[in-house]
């Protein structure tokens, strides 16, 4: 509608009204504008993911990680995911330890996507719908390869300060990523402590960096 207001055939008073509306929108704080709905959040993440896949060989592993890390940080609720992944062990850690593990987990998630989505061969990343899950929502997606092979990934979304963010990922719609991590992280914490868990989470990022150096 705003674009129509600026057409040459529009009367001057309506053009002035359109300008006023645009100026008003521009002055609104970010918090006052409509936040993206859950499907839009996932679509935005997939758009970035497809772009890095298409540029995969040029960017290299470390380049893909550099592009994905900030998007993962604002799309995924990493602090919440880290707490859920650690379960009851979270409460046994002091704030500094919690922060170290949260930062390492953020790097781990970004590195995992950079590693698994490394090249583009005609894949389609499709958002197919959403369904309620208590106070949260699940966004259903399909990753379709060029040969027709399909993988289902569902994203559990919840609102964090008015914005929808990802708090878990379900493979085939049933296998919770955080449930898998919980058993693994608990085992590492018991055996190697906080330092061992941080080292394990950083290993994938370190691997990407070492591979990037060998390719240069």
In this structure, are residues 126 and 59 in contact, taking their beta carbons and an 8 Å threshold? no
For 129-138, the pLDDT digits (tens) are 999 999 999 9
CATH classification for the domain delimited by 38-215, as one of 1.20.1260.10, 3.10.450.710, 3.40.140.10, 3.40.50.970: 3.10.450.710
* Contact partners, residue 8, CB within 8 Å, separation at least 6: none
Model pTM greater than 0.85?
no
Cα(201)–Cα(207) distance, rounded to whole angstroms? 11
Where exactly are the structural domains of the chain?
2-32, 38-215
For 160-190, the pLDDT digits (tens) are 889 999 999 999 989 999 999 999 999 999 9
For 44-101, the pLDDT digits (tens) are 999 999 999 999 999 988 899 999 999 999 999 999 999 999 999 999 999 999 999 9
Q: How high is the pLDDT of residue 206? A: 83
The arithmetic mean of pLDDT across residues 134-150, rounded, is 95
Q: Is 212 left (phi over 0), alpha (psi -120 to 50) or beta?
A: alpha
Pick from 6-10, 65-69, 190-194: least confident: 6-10
Closest CA to 182 of 165, 204, 197, 195: 197
Between 30 and 4, residue with greater pLDDT:
30
């Amino acid at each position: 509608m705003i674009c129509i207001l600026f057409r040459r055939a529009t009367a001057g008073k309506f053009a002035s009204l359109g300008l006023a509306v645009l100026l008003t929108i521009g002055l609104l704080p970010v918090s006052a504008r409509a936040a993206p709905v859950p499907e839009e959040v996932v679509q935005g993440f997939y758009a970035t993911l497809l772009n890095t896949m298409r540029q995969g060989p040029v960017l290299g592993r470390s380049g893909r990680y550099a592009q994905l890390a900030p998007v993962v940080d604002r799309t995924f609720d990493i602090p919440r995911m880290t707490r859920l992944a650690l379960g009851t062990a979270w409460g046994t850690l002091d704030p500094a330890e919690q922060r170290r593990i949260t930062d390492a987990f953020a790097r781990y998630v970004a590195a995992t996507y950079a590693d698994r989505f490394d090249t583009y061969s005609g894949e389609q990343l499709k958002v197919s719908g959403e369904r309620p899950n208590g106070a949260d929502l699940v966004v259903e997606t399909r990753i379709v390869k060029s040969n027709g092979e399909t993988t289902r990934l569902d994203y559990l979304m919840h609102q964090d300060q008015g914005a929808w963010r990802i708090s878990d990922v379900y493979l085939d719609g049933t296998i919770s990523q955080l449930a898998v991590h919980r058993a693994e992280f608990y085992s590492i914490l018991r055996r190697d402590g906080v330092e061992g868990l941080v080292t394990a989470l950083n290993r994938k990022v370190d691997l990407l960096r070492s591979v990037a150096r060998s390719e240069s």
